[in-house]
Amino acid sequence: MPKFIANYTFLYYNIYKHNNIYERMRFFMEKITIKSEFITLGQFLKFVDVISSGGMVKHALETLTIYVNDVLENRRGKKLYPGDKILIKTIGEFRISSK
């Protein structure tokens, strides 16, 4: 039985300021349902196919811009709980929920 379940919930637009130019980016908000109390950021990146193996987590955190609840995050052991919002620039936005 899988520990995590993914659902696409809705389409929305988000506006980012990059080099003093406002860019309108189109994302799907993906809802990730977990059965445990929390999931670490490293596990999350592997689950949503941002990386293919756990050994790539360190490199991914150095190269990607990842926000957890609108705070820049680079710790692979960061615990993500239901209700947390994760934004990975150029990839999309995710919401953790519990079963």
**How confident is the model over 17-59, as pLDDT tens digits?**
454 444 445 456 788 999 999 999 999 999 988 888 888 999 9
pLDDT surpassing 90 at residue 10: no
The pLDDT of residue 12 = 43
Tokens describing residue 65: 């811009």
Separation of alpha carbons 70 and 88, rounded Å: 11
Global pTM reads 0.72
With contact defined as beta carbons under 8 Å apart, do 56 and 65 qualify?
no
The pLDDT of residue 19 = 47
Percent of the chain past pLDDT 90, that is, above it, reads: 49
Output b/e per residue, 27-41; b: 16+ Cβ within 10 A. bebbebbbeeeebeb
pLDDT surpassing 60 at residue 6: no
